[in-house]
Amino acid sequence: MVRPRKHRCIRAMPVATFYKPRGMALHGMKTSVLPVEGFEAIRLVDSEGIPRRDAARMMRVSPATLCRILQEARTVIARALANGWALKIEGGDYRMVEEDPSGTGRRGRQGGRGCGHGRTRGNRKKSQSCSSRVEKQGMEKEAEVQQKKTTWR
Q: From CA 78, how far away is CA 55, in angstroms rounded?
A: 22
Query: Residues 60-99: pLDDT tens digits?
Result: 999 999 999 999 999 999 999 999 999 999 988 889 887 6
Burial of 57: CB neighbours in 10 Å, binned 0-12, 13-18, 19+: buried
Residue 129, in any domain of the structure: no
Q: From CA 51, how far away is CA 45, in angstroms rounded?
A: 6
Residue 115, in any domain of the structure: no
Residue 89, in any domain of the structure: yes
- Considering the entire predicted model, what is its pTM? 0.62
Give the range of the structural domain holding residue 69, as residue numbers without chain letter: 1-103
Q: From CA 98, how far away is CA 12, in angstroms rounded?
A: 9
Count of the separate structural domains present in the chain: 1
| Per-residue confidence (pLDDT) for residue 25, from 0 to 100 | 87
134's enclosing H/E stretch is helix 130-152
Q: pLDDT confidence of 117, banded at 50, 70, 90? A: very low
